[in-house]
Structure 1
Amino acid sequence: MEHLRKYPHSLLVKFLGVHRIKIPHRRKKYFIVMQSVFYPDDRISARYDIKGCEVSRWTEPAPEGSQIIVVLKDLNFEGQYITLDRQRPWLLRQVELDTQFLRRLNVLDYSFLLAHQPLHHDERHQSLSFATLIMRTKKSLKGMAKTPEDFRAQNRRLLPNLKNPLHVIDGPEHRYFIGIIDIFTVYSFKKRLEHWWKRLRHPGRSFSTVSPQTYCLRLCHWVQDHTK
């Protein structure tokens, strides 16, 4: 909560509740509800779950003309870029802030969730009248730091006027939906054993189970290498 207060436009997904279902004569079921990253999703052309590695990071795309929604992975995205122009420095900085926060919590195996849709012709190169320039919200004003570095760290970007704008960034040609999800996996003793087992099984290849420090840096490098 303190991280979200300091960076109210963080890319970390928002969790709306933890719930329990009680079914007679069966075990209780627990589930978490999180805010949708892909909203509105009516024109989204592709979805990706990115971890910054290569082992088991390919998904077979849906057949041409199929209505099935398939979430693709890192290897499916190779050769493509997130094109943001002026928005790029903001995204790189925010990914760094969020992943460094997760590193301090000893967390790994989270995903950079990404989707894109083409902008309509009249949405491209819009003036500020179409988008909302978020420089300060009421939440941002509370406890806002005064130094130039902290001022740059405050999340400032052009966002469409949507109900769920915190994960939406417009580039020159495409609208991108971005969020960091699955943030509950801690680097436990079991995960350390999994790391050594995967090192033996996949020598010289990158896989998801690595130390939180390595995971953080690797995902930041992936975003840097795949944006322009």
Structure 2
Amino acid sequence: MAAAQDTTSRDDVRSGIVTAASQLLREKGASAVTTRAVAQAAGVQAPTIYRLFGDKDGLVDAVAEHVMATYVAAKAAAAETAEGDPVADLRSGWRVHVEFGLANPELYALIGTRGRGGPSSATAAGIEVLRTRVRRLAAAGLLRVDEQRALMMIHAAGNGTILALLAMPEDRRDPGLSDAMFDAVLSSIRVTTPATPDTTTSAVAVTFATVVPDLPGLSDAERALMTEWLNRSLSTPHNP
């Protein structure tokens, strides 16, 4: 019973710290989210933050996850149940992501100040949702590049678009920039004529790679080897 109470108390303290940091972020901006300020707002000692989160980056991750949790969950649910045109689904997800970024500029500033490399857990969850959407394109035979390249191009372009728009005064932002960037990236990763099946070697390989995990009669090692071969072929420049 005592252990359960200790766990509950620890969770309550952690939740209080995250809530305090989120409020500072919302009211005073990313620069206000310091270990000392958060500790004071939460009514705890600074060492408590280090004990529960490791360092400021750990706290940043927790705040980002707290703010983005509902958003990411909604995106995930939409991606899992998506039907119809995978391109329209991807475009819809892009627009929602950009809109969220513009509505939460301080969160993006906070994530950008993390000291160590790698995305926050919330960002990583969002990337997995994007991966689901990219997989739908690949399965439909609409990709000219491998899934990972397409994923990273979309992810990088989306974040770049948000940061570029946030750097502009709100009343001077180009309202068409987001869609223009999406179309530019899409033209780079999608086959030229999606209405007609693309029979080029790379397009066939990308599509085939999506079904390798489900091929019968193969061991996990054989599937992994086949995936490695396909990825190697796709990453090798083609000389006609």
**Larger relative helix fraction:** 2
Structure (1 or 2) with the larger CA radius of gyration: 2
TM-score, L = length of structure 2? 0.22
TM-score, L = length of structure 1? 0.22
Of structures 1 and 2, the one scoring higher in RCO (CA 8 A, sep 6+) is 1
